[in-house]
Structure 1
């Protein structure tokens, strides 16, 4: 991993280094051609999580002189996301950074894109059986593990907990599985008393947690792999005396406010900016494989020599002490941009 990140760091620095040595005879190769465009595609496109990803995707694109666009569907619907992916592909972009809602349904669209010459990198969630050239994410297993330890330690290693989930979404499934596995392995006195599918819907999460509390009066914690469900879960906990610790992954402004107010226990938040920045770098490199001549069989096999199977973008632990560093509006003001509108 260190070698991979070092290689990418060198590539990121290359435009600056090359600019100093460029001459009339030697042009800087780390620049886009006129009209070279890179697109980001997501589902539930209004979710705040995506915005910092695109902000840094866009920044990297600007540094390379490329065009970028933010695309997707507002619905939590894999078919509608695929339709939006196909619409983006119809513009013949140089590359697409995509968060595939579900792994297998995206195999054919991704393969079709690669076959027509559009590089594809997945982020946060993967489609590992597709022809995508790279995958960038935080360590979902580490996130789930950390969340379990934090909850169990706060409860003295003994009590009841439940989980909310979004079955079929790769990264969410991994977080939930890691959370439960860690509890079973390290905290045998922590008892799983319920699981419910909230599918990123605050109302479903609210109703699910109310039902879980009614069925399990001693419920001490609930974990969910994303932010939207936490809004409803925290409300249900508050109505029952805030005895249920709400632990989640990801943040948004409402979540941050609730963490600061003590209504949410805490969050593990992926480093979204690096997902976007390094996601662009991986796409750009995949679209320019002629820049390297590796000592391997890529030329013979026809594979992309710039392929990097996996990059870990890291994650942060969000508490009341550091929550102010994660507000999107403050970040946007600091950067002086219009976010996803650019």
Structure 2
């Protein structure tokens, strides 16, 4: 992170004398009407809000405009349609969370050919021509979550996972969680796994079935918060002995963590994700500020490409849950979030 920020300072120095910025006192300023879009699936999920809050702040600091777009459904075709709608307005760039990797390859590549850079965040489309990718380290998140659960269980017992097959970041978290258990905690045994697809009802039913098949089930991990809501309800009805560990937080899950009904959560630093996501997107759109010593001109790629930037993450427990409430965050900042 420090190296990247230092790089921005150097780019500003270099850009001050670049031909494309002649006449500008500050090259890090948008042109009038320059607009950047953030596009997501399940647009009402609270996870996106702090990402957009800092995406928006970074844009405002540079005189740019932003738009929050997406679809309320967990439906890749509907998200693709919302992406196309955003693309049709020819924005300066798009910060995208692709629901699935492969369906977005062609739309991202087409956007790139149109001169509209795309930066992915939280989930990736690695085989596309997206210029950069920012996320927390999903492998580390899975490891930390596994260690926390195993230590709380004394390193011995049965666990299960709920998952959303096909969503890149979720798949990595689950795979890493299981791998860590196998490598470091050999007495922790994977009893069951089921696809909940971010549906609390499916998660509730899956946990009930898992517990019936494995009465000694001690913990369940899931890579997002929506499934955790249903899993927590089932665990409570089953006597509260199953530890629920998930990724991402929202107000309901924070309440449950504080009440002791959920064990804990891994939460990416969403604000950093949004702020640095915007900076990478803006620089990709103003790549004349950067002139690296490589073959980008002859090879025809954007010199701003950052294959991967880690925005970091936190472990949320009852001890620090108060620091993660969205309403308190907005009140402190004095803004209206995604409604601005």
TM bucket, shorter chain:
over 0.9
**Are 1:247 and 2:245 an aligned pair?**
yes
Q: Is the 8 A contact 1:5 1:311 kept in 2?
A: no
Given candidates 58, 65, 74, the residue that maps to 1:60 is 58
Give the CA deviation at 1:3: 3.5
Give the CA deviation at 1:26: 5.0
Deviations, residues 152-187 of structure 1 (Å, cap 9, x unaligned): 010011000000000000000000000000000111
Q: Is the 8 A contact 1:165 1:225 kept in 2?
A: yes
Aligned residue runs from structure 1 range 46-195, under 5 A: 46-195=44-193
State the partner residue of 1:21: none
Give the CA deviation at 1:300: 1.4
SS of match in other structure, 2:292: coil
Given candidates 302, 305, 323, the residue that maps to 1:304 is 302
Give the CA deviation at 1:2: 5.7
Separation of aligned partners in 2, 1:112 and 1:72: 19
Aligned residue runs from structure 1 range 307-318, under 5 A: 307-318=305-316
Give the CA deviation at 1:11: 6.8
SS of match in other structure, 2:36: strand
TM-score normalised according to structure 2 size: 0.95
Distance 1:118-1:98 versus aligned 2 partners, 3 A rule: same
Aligned residue runs from structure 1 range 199-210, under 5 A: 199-210=197-208
Give the CA deviation at 1:308: 1.0
State the partner residue of 1:330: 328
Separation of aligned partners in 2, 1:290 and 1:203: 50
Separation of aligned partners in 2, 1:323 and 1:222: 20
State the partner residue of 1:237: 235
Give the CA deviation at 1:302: 1.3
State the partner residue of 1:3: 3
Deviations, residues 23-75 of structure 1 (Å, cap 9, x unaligned): x9552111000111000000000000000000000000000100100000000
SS of match in other structure, 1:241: coil
Aligned residue runs from structure 1 range 237-276, under 5 A: 237-276=235-274
Separation of aligned partners in 2, 1:259 and 1:190: 23
Give the CA deviation at 1:6: 3.5
Return 5+ residue gaps in structure 1 as ranges.
19-23
State the partner residue of 2:212: 214
Q: Is the 8 A contact 1:259 1:323 kept in 2?
A: yes
Deviations, residues 218-252 of structure 1 (Å, cap 9, x unaligned): 00000000001111101111011101000000000
Q: Is the 8 A contact 1:138 1:271 kept in 2?
A: yes
**Are 1:277 and 2:275 an aligned pair?**
yes
Give the CA deviation at 1:276: 0.4
SS of match in other structure, 1:264: coil
Separation of aligned partners in 2, 1:147 and 1:307: 31
Q: Is the 8 A contact 1:4 1:308 kept in 2?
A: no
Separation of aligned partners in 2, 1:205 and 1:159: 21
Separation of aligned partners in 2, 1:316 and 1:298: 36
Give the CA deviation at 1:325: 0.5
Distance 1:5-1:220 versus aligned 2 partners, 3 A rule: farther
Given candidates 225, 228, 238, the residue that maps to 2:226 is 228
Aligned residue runs from structure 1 range 20-59, under 5 A: 26-59=24-57
